[in-house]
């Protein structure tokens, strides 16, 4: 859309034009020919400048490169803009401004004196954000000005570049999770492979199955591809549940319990991908994305834009966990009621492993609670006391106790009921308070070899594991 003839004048240009009109009128009325000539000259200068500037058709190209195109919250990326003059004339004074969202900082502005014919200029600036999300950078806006500063014409490119800010990803100990957690290994296949051909129990073909495992006799019988179940290796599969209910979290901004849950899910998902496990992300209301070779990239892109939900129940996520079947289950949960914990506990099948990260959401309401129980460990782990806390954690609790040794009412641990129910069902528990480093909380897990031990204790009592005698 073309702007009006006078809209392109700057304040200086408008002043020249007004002064020229006033001088011309005064010279005409007073009969002063010299004053009239001065007025006409002042009028002609901005008008001729507008005409010349609008007639100068500069042809510029713009290329934008963001490196890297995706960063974690709190990181920094570099943006490089390259302007190239492909017209036959050199440009005049150019004011360049790149449009960026408010969350990424202030808009960078540059003044370019002149770009010669077939010349180019490179402009660089930094992007940083503490907020995750997907942002569009651009378009680049140019203002072409004359040498006198009387005229300024705004032009804009149409190109935009996507920039992704993911949750913070913290490195986790590589000794905690192994492929054995998800049932990986030859042992299972060797046990079932001792059966003869007559004992074959086929199943439907799934994407990724080896065609050499196809059982043609069953395929002909059922009319669809069937594979030998006993010769099929168990897959390295993990299902990651993220509790994104707004009602289950407290706090606001980057320091809220929801943001910690998102960061924990991102860190665990990246850790699983690096360990060679295929993953699936599930929220409280159902699956978001499935596993694959690009699970890490898909996970970070999905978590970059996830928001708290107004839905209050976990039925969708629990249904997806049950459909996922065998494999490793990791749940990052906010505030859980006892009924919700019982439903979640039933998602663990016999032979599978399950881990629950329980956020002590009430600690996000009072900053004085931050990190008070940072030494808590899951039941049965080395260095834990009979009540499931480490010696350091027990000392922290003792410091919070009243004169009779009782815990103060405002220091109650709201995760205890849910943790009790989940541990009784064979889940491994990690408790996280506000201010507790995720890597430290991750150390609460036992070693990979100990994860396969079915015994689970809490408070000095033994609990029955599903499918095993008490």
Choose from 76-80, 351-355, 370-374 the range with maximum mean pLDDT.
Answer: 76-80
Cα–Cα distance, 431 to 443 (Å, whole number): 11
Q: Extract the runs of DSSP E, i.e. beta strands, from 247-343.
A: 278-283, 286-289, 328-333
Closest to 213 in 3D by CA, of 199, 232, 233: 232
Q: What percent of the chain has pLDDT over 90?
A: 26
Comparison of pLDDT for 284 and 448, the residue scoring more: 284
Count of Cβ atoms closer than 10 Å to residue 112 Cβ: 15
Q: Please state which of the ranges 9-13, 69-73, 107-111, 235-239 shows the lowest mean pLDDT.
A: 235-239
Q: What is the pLDDT of residue 167?
A: 93
8 A C-beta contact, residue 278 and residue 292: yes
The rounded radius of gyration (Å) of the Cα atoms in the chain is: 33
Cα–Cα distance, 201 to 183 (Å, whole number): 19
Q: What are phi and psi of 308, to 5 degrees?
A: -60, 145
Q: What is the pLDDT of residue 8?
A: 78
8 A C-beta contact, residue 229 and residue 203: yes
* Mean predicted lDDT score pLDDT of the chain: 76
Could you tell me which residues come within 8 angstroms of residue 4 by beta carbon, excluding any fewer than 6 positions away? none
Comparison of pLDDT for 260 and 180, the residue scoring more: 260
8 A C-beta contact, residue 61 and residue 38: no
Q: What are phi and psi of 331, to 5 degrees?
A: -115, 125
Strand order in the sheet with 133-137: 70-72, 161-166, 133-137
What average pLDDT does range 134-154 have in this prediction?
Answer: 83
DSSP string for 176-211: S--GGGGT-SHHHHHHHHTS-GGG--EEE--TT--G
Q: Is the pLDDT of residue 59 over 70?
A: yes
Could you tell me which residues come within 8 angstroms of residue 121 by beta carbon, excluding any fewer than 6 positions away? 82, 83, 112, 115
What average pLDDT does range 7-22 have in this prediction?
Answer: 85
Q: What is the pLDDT of residue 99?
A: 92
8 A C-beta contact, residue 75 and residue 128: yes
pLDDT in tens, 411-447: 567 889 999 999 999 899 999 998 889 888 888 887 5
8 A C-beta contact, residue 27 and residue 35: yes
Q: What is the pLDDT of residue 447?
A: 59
Closest to 251 in 3D by CA, of 147, 143, 360: 360
Comparison of pLDDT for 58 and 468, the residue scoring more: 58
Q: What is the pLDDT of residue 127?
A: 93
Task: Specify the residue for token string 């665990």.
Answer: 268
Q: What is the pLDDT of residue 137?
A: 94
Q: What is the pLDDT of residue 174?
A: 62
Q: Give the pLDDT band of residue 325 (cuts 50, 70, 90).
A: low
pLDDT in tens, 82-100: 999 888 878 877 889 999 9
Task: Fill in the DSSP letter of residue 425.
Answer: T
Helical packing angle, 33-55 and 11-30, nearest 10° = 150
Could you tell me which residues come within 8 angstroms of residue 196 by beta carbon, excluding any fewer than 6 positions away? none
Q: What is the pLDDT of residue 292?
A: 57
Closest to 240 in 3D by CA, of 165, 311, 321, 344: 321
Could you tell me which residues come within 8 angstroms of residue 35 by beta carbon, excluding any fewer than 6 positions away? 23, 24, 26, 27
What average pLDDT does range 133-159 have in this prediction?
Answer: 84
3-state secondary structure of 462: strand
Give CA 3 to chain center in angstroms: 42
What average pLDDT does range 221-227 have in this prediction?
Answer: 84
Q: Is the pLDDT of residue 3 over 80?
A: no
What average pLDDT does range 265-282 have in this prediction?
Answer: 86
Q: Is the pLDDT of residue 314 over 50?
A: yes
Q: Taken in order 442, 444, 449, 455, is the CA torsion positive or negative?
A: negative
pLDDT in tens, 118-131: 889 999 999 999 89
Cα–Cα distance, 143 to 123 (Å, whole number): 16
Could you tell me which residues come within 8 angstroms of residue 49 by beta carbon, excluding any fewer than 6 positions away? 13, 146, 148, 150, 151
Q: What is the pLDDT of residue 47?
A: 85
8 A C-beta contact, residue 346 and residue 331: no
Q: 383 is written with which tokens?
A: 């260095």
8 A C-beta contact, residue 385 and residue 396: no
Count of Cβ atoms closer than 10 Å to residue 298 Cβ: 19
Task: Specify the residue for token string 């014409």.
Answer: 153
pLDDT in tens, 362-413: 888 755 444 443 333 333 333 333 333 333 333 343 344 444 444 443 456 7
What average pLDDT does range 216-236 have in this prediction?
Answer: 71
8 A C-beta contact, residue 436 and residue 390: no
């Amino acid at each position: 859309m073309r702007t009006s003839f006078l809209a392109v004048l700057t304040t200086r240009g408008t002043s020249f034009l007004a002064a020229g009109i006033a001088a011309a009128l005064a010279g005409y009325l007073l009969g002063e020919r010299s004053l009239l000539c001065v007025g006409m000259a002042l009028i002609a200068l901005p008008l001729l400048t507008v005409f010349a500037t609008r007639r100068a058709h500069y042809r510029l190209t713009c290329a934008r490169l963001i490196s890297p195109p995706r960063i974690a919250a709190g990181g920094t990326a570099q943006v490089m803009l390259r302007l190239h003059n492909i017209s036959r004339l050199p440009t005049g004074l150019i004011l360049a401004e790149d449009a960026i969202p408010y969350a990424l900082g202030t808009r960078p502005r540059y003044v370019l004196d002149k770009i010669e014919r077939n010349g180019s200029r490179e402009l660089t600036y930094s992007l940083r954000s503490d907020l995750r999300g997907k942002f569009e950078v651009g378009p680049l806006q140019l203002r072409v000005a004359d040498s006198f500063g009387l005229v300024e014409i705004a032009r804009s490119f149409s190109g935009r570049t996507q920039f992704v800010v993911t949750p913070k990803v913290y490195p986790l100990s590589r000794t905690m999770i192994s492929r054995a957690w998800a049932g990986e290994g030859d042992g299972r296949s060797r046990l079932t492979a001792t059966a003869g051909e007559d004992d074959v129990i086929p199943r439907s073909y799934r994407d990724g199955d080896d065609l050499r495992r196809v059982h043609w006799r069953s395929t002909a019988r059922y009319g669809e591809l069937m594979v030998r179940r006993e010769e099929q290796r168990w897959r390295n599969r993990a299902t990651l549940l993220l509790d994104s209910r707004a009602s289950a979290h407290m706090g606001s901004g980057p320091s809220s319990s929801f943001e910690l849950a998102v960061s924990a899910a991102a860190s665990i998902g990246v850790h699983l991908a690096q360990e060679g496990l295929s993953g699936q992300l599930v929220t409280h209301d159902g699956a978001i994305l499935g596993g694959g070779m690009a699970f890490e990239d898909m996970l970070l892109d999905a978590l970059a834009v996830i928001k708290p939900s107004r839905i209050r129940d976990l039925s969708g996520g629990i249904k997806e966990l049950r459909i996922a079947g065998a494999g490793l289950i990791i749940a990052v949960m906010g505030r859980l009621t006892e009924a919700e914990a019982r439903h979640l506990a039933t998602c663990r099948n016999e032979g599978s492993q399950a881990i629950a990260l329980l956020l002590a959401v009430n600690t996000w309401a009072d900053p004085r609670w931050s990190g008070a129980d940072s030494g808590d460990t899951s039941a049965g782990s080395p260095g834990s006391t009979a009540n499931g806390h480490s010696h350091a954690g027990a000392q922290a609790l003792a410091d919070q106790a009243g004169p009779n040794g009782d815990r103060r009412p405002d220091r109650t641990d709201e995760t205890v009921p849910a943790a009790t129910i989940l541990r009784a069902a064979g889940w491994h528990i990690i408790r996280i308070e506000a201010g507790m480093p995720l890597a430290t909380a991750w150390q609460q897990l036992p070693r990979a070899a100990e994860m396969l031990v079915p015994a689970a204790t809490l408070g000095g009592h033994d609990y029955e594991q599903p499918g095993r005698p008490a």
